Structure 1
Amino acid sequence: MSATPPPYPQGFVWGVSTSAYQIEGAAAEDGRGPSIWDTRCRTAGGVVNGDTGDVACDHYHRYAEDIALMKGMGVGAYRFSLSWPRILPRGRGAVNDKGLDFYDRLIDRLLEAGIEPWACLYHWDLPQALHDLGGWASRDSAGWFADYAALCARRYGDRVKRWATFNEFSVFTLFGYAIPWAAPGITDRVQHLRAIHHVNLAHGAGVDVLRALVPQASIGAIHNRQVVVPETDTPENREAAALLDEHWNLVFPDPQIRGHYPPRTAEAIEPHVQPGDMARIARPVDWFGLNHYGPIFAKTEPERTWGYGWGNAPAAAANSEASRAVGWAIFPDAFREELLTISRRYRLPIVVTENGCGGSDAPDAGGAVDDPHRIAYLKTYNAAMRDAMALGADVRGYFVWSLLDNFEWGNGYGQRFGLVHVDFKTLKRTPKASSRWYADLIRQARAGGA
């Protein structure tokens, strides 16, 4: 590609992303109810080191400080999630006013800082009380979600115009219902299929609610998409990769945007589909949210629920200089190709809602946090995004994961993805070198020089 790609388009959105359970803390404060992740954290072996989100980054109390950090970086948008159990402690019924009030304060402070709020309704923290009623394996879950979405839309829709229904559908359904790496930790084919379909129904209902209740709403959904490659080129691994590709990349955006399930899944899911369901799922959206980190290497694992598992990247890629710097194999070309594939397949504007890398960043003797591996990763992936845009991908925004080091689900606090370092004992925030690099990129892009 050209060494001097065209400028970013007018209005390109620069942001950072977080999620409620990963940063808020205050898990049992001001009326919040337990979520399936509170339960997971208290299940033996559920999370590395027995870590929990009880305190996390204490964003619930320190949100003003975190907004000031965003403003200092120059970001124009903040993608966060609303905590269903903070707003509705039992998932339905009695509303928790203190929970609603927290997001009022957060949204108002963001707007005062000139930062646009992008609200995601669901980022994995299903109220435990709803899981006890069947969770996403119950068809009733679509109605529960629609009622929750309506409550949020009525409360915040006067100020929040950018909405996402769900974050990473495939991750929380696959790892929650087929491969037990996340809450609720179930391994059952039928429940996995039911969860896929009911979450799709919930998405469609959520889109309709937001469209009806929020004037000038811009609505999308956030999908994790990574090319799935056989670990080695054998018939068994190719078949494993093909099925994982459907479950990971296709079973949510295809029905939501194209109106049908992909072929392998369509037959299996048919017993759970009722007349009119596909029309309820395929509701018009305004943008496609993409979370992307790198490819998946699949291999056959007959003992797994669906017969596939995660393999290893090729040794040459894993041992490249760039990959060694980040700590995992990186494939910026796969990011470029994913953006182009999405553009061709779904014909929607794309917002990169997550991209970033982990590390074990720590302050030096002087208190500074240098993270050259993250800067190298972000540079490389931004260059790949620019190449995709030059080739026709309609990318409208880019959000780094994440603003803060946080609770990284099953990995606990062992991986740090933030542009800002958090001391989890003192909760002190320290902007890393990457935060200054990102601020410079934003400033140059707005000036037309990036």
Structure 2
Amino acid sequence: MNSNFLWGGATASYQCEGAWNIDDKAESMWDHYLHENNLENGDVASDHYHHFEEDIKMMKDGGHNAYRFSLSWPRIIKNRAGDINPKGIAFYNKLINCCLKNGITPFVTLYHWDLPQYWQEVGGWLNLDTSRAFAHYAEVCFEAFGDKVKLWTTFNEPKWFTVNGYLIGNYPPAEHDLQHTIICGFNVMYANALAIQKFRQGKFQGQIGIVHSYSPIDGIDDTIETKIAMRNADNYANNWVLDTAALGSFPIDLLAKLSETNDISFMKPDLLKTIAENKVDFLGLNYYARTLVKPYTSGETKMVFNNSGKKGSTQMRIKNWFEQVMDPNSEYTEWDTEIYPKGLEDGLIRAYQKYHLPIFVTENGVGFHENINVNEVKDDYRISFMNDHINALMNAQDKGADVRGYFTWSPFDLYSWMNGVEKRYGLVAVDFSTLKRKPKASYFWYKKIINSNGKLIERREY
């Protein structure tokens, strides 16, 4: 492992900060949606807004040398006119300075899903003005923090918030509309290019990338039908983000397939030119599981994801594209996520061989129902999970992949979107009634791994 390898944890502003209406922060689409529907929300979450010094000190004491976090657009920009909130800038300057004071590299994501509600009210990501506003917001952040932040990413997981928001409908704006899904995805990737353009034009130091919810595709067999299904699944799950960000163009076969059923005339030549000219410097890959597929058989498109923590409720089928298969020989979490570290090794090798860009594993972790009312949470299952996935990362490095960092999700327990706070991912337990922090067994294990720079990982081939 290179001596400059980044070891850390990752969070998202809405999932940990709380302080949803403090210091002139504007309302986000998630604030609005969850309040309107009377759902469990992140109004307080882990209250990182008031506990960030304690949290970052615990990261330092736990050996971390990097912290991946996101900025909140509605905390920084007040309105559609683009007016800056100085209190938001001041908060993130304090957070970044705290990282640097503790020897922790800030790894900053501009957008982790919390779109300002004032943009959602005028169409959100269906409106190209939102893409242009994102570029303004990005430039404000580059100018405010660029002297201290050298690793930037534009978006966290474009596929996840696009598909869940516009096709599956379990995230705001809770639609079931394929045409809107396609428009949203395109406008987000255009916004990504505009932000990179601002970064290049401003000659800001450092590098800029994108973070993708990476799900490497495997097939049930080697037949031509399965290979076609795999390509369709790869285009759906990965290529429209990674090819576009890294290579500058959407997969042509994906566009051809979409044009059979949908209108793609909004993809104008001048917009595609901007995308082609503004590519990323590196890739952030969030890995939780692969996707195993078979050829489409019958039935309408169906996507159901487990937000309950009760096994047996996840299904994915896209009509005339592919069907997901749950491998009966695999182990699954309570949320039906396959535990498959080999998928990370395979995926890192595939991504590096395809794009030849540096890679960071920007999220990897496992959520469980946990009783934290004990002296120490003995989360051996998390230790085993992390060991096997860091081992997979190291195997990929051994086979030539340029992987430069590993960020566990998450350094402390936080609000987990539609899963609420019962799905715990943290190395540090948070009592959400008192906000007291308490390290779990995995916290101390990870510290030993970091201090050895990975040498204490139990190694094996898959």
Could you say whether these structures have the same fold, taking a TM-score greater than 0.5 normalized by the shorter chain as the test?
yes
1-structure distance, mates of 2:181, 2:421 = 28
Q: Match for residue 374 of structure 1? A: 382
Amino acid at match of 2:397: M
Residues 184, 244 of structure 1: CA spacing in aligned structure 2 closer, same or farther, 3 A cutoff? farther
| Paired residues of 1:225 and 1:249 also in contact (CA < 8 A) | yes
User: For residues 79 and 442 of structure 1, what CA distance do their matches in structure 2 show?
Assistant: 16
1:347 matched residue in structure 2: 356
More off after superposition, 373-382 vs 406-415: 406-415
Q: Which residue of 2 aligns with 1:4?
A: none
Alignment partner of 2:300 out of 299, 302, 305: 302
CA distance in 2, matches of 1:324, 1:131: 34
The answer as to whether partners of 1:174 and 1:247 remain within 8 angstroms in 2 is no
Question: Structure 2: which amino acid aligns with 1:58?
Answer: D
- The secondary structure found in structure 1 opposite 2:405 is strand
Name the CA distance, whole Å, in 1 between partners of 2:135 and 2:382.
38
Q: 2:92 & 2:45 partners in 1: Cα distance?
A: 18
- The Cα offsets for residues 198-246 of structure 1, whole Å up to 9 and x where unpaired, read as 1111001111212333532211111111124568999999876643431
SS at match of 1:119: strand
| Aligned positions of 1:16-55 closer than 5 A | 16-44=9-37, 50-55=39-44
The alignment-based identity, stated in percent, is: 37
Instruction: For residue 74 of structure 1, report the CA deviation from its aligned partner.
Output: 1.2
What's 2:328 paired with?
Answer: 315
- Counterpart AA for 1:120: T
Q: Relative to 1, partners in 2 of residues 1:69 and 1:329: Cα closer, same or farther, differing over 3 Å?
A: same
1:399 corresponding residue in structure 2: 407
Among 211, 225, 250, the residue aligned to 1:222: 211
Contact kept in structure 1, 2:248 and 2:279, CA below 8 Å: no
**In 2: Cα distance, 1:234 partner to 1:171 partner:** 29
- The structural deviation recorded for 1:449 is 6.3
Task: Calculate the TM-score normalised by the size of structure 2.
Answer: 0.87
**What per-residue deviation string (whole Å, max 9, x for no partner) do you get for residues 405-445 of structure 1?**
11111111120011111111111111111111110000011
Per-residue CA distance 1:66-102 (angstroms, 9 max, x = gap): 1111111111111100000111133542222111111
The alpha-carbon distance between structure 1 residues 54 and 234, as it changes in their structure 2 partners (threshold 3 A), is farther
> Counterparts of 1:311 and 1:370 in 2: how far apart (Å)?
34
Separation (CA, whole Å) in 1 of partners of 2:31 and 2:53: 25
Q: Structure 1 residue 415 and structure 2 residue 444: aligned?
A: no
Aligned to 2:313: none
Cα distance in 2 for partners of 1:288, 1:311 equals: 25
Is there any run of 5+ residues in structure 1 with no aligned partner, and where?
1-7
Identify the match of residue 72 of structure 2 among 83, 107, 111: 83
Q: Structure 2: how far apart are the matches of 1:236 and 1:33? A: 49
Aligned length: 433
Change (3 A) 1:390 1:238: closer
Pairwise CA distance, 1:181: 2.0
Structure 1 contact 421–431 (Cα < 8 Å) conserved: yes
Cα separation, 2, equivalents of 1:324 and 1:304: 21
Q: Residues of 2 paired with 1:413 and 1:278: CA distance?
A: 40
**2:269 aligned partner:** 275
Selected match of 2:347 from 338, 341, 348: 338
TM-score (norm: length of structure 1): 0.90
* Separation in 1, partners of 2:212, 2:333: 27
Give the deviation of 1:295 after TM superposition: 1.5
| 1:211 equivalenced with 2:166 (yes/no) | no
Supply the distance in 2 between the matched residues of 1:57 and 1:421 (Cα, whole angstroms).
Answer: 10
State the 1:194 CA deviation.
Answer: 0.9
Unaligned runs of 5+ in 2: 304-317, 458-462
The answer on whether the counterparts of 1:260 and 1:278 sit within 8 Å (CA) in structure 2 is: yes
Once the two structures are superposed, the pairs formed by residues 92-131 of structure 1 within 5 Å of their partners are: 92-131=81-120
Q: Provide the alpha-carbon RMSD of the alignment.
A: 2.5
The CA deviation at 1:183 is 1.8
